[in-house]
Amino acid sequence: MLTEGQTAPLFTLNNQAGHPVSLEKLKGKKVVLYFYPKDDTPGCTKQACNLRDNQSLLTQKGVVVLGISTDSEKSHQKFSDKYQLNFDILADPDKDVVNMYGVWGEKSLYGRKYMGTNRWSFLINETGVIDKIYTKVKVTQHSEDIIKDWGL
């Protein structure tokens, strides 16, 4: 499991438009890397819209927001268009990055156990080091928590 103070694992994934996005190319910027279970579901939509609504402030402070789920590029494009998301959401259908970051695991819903993506976020600083890991994300105030914790 990754810990705060470790270097964030590098990756390249395609965004909702099919364009590659590389974490390595974002060195020098702060990155909010948020993992979420599924496009267009209630909690994931609230979280994405909360980040969308505060995107201009985050951008002014030099922060790049990247969402990742195991959904396809096509699913991401529909989700992004429907909610006018103003940041990249990356497709990880092979589960390489969710495994690399330790967010793929056993979940439970109504007593039923299954494997899925945990809703975790990583704040990665300009040097590529993980400053903070959120394992309990409040979807309706996630961007406010990020702003406060990073002192933006």
Buried b (16+ CB within 10 A) or exposed e, 119-138: bbbbbbeeebebbebbeebe
Using the structure block, give the residue that is written with the tokens 């702003």. 147
Just list the catalytic residues.
44
Helix ranges restricted to H, 67-112: 73-83, 96-100
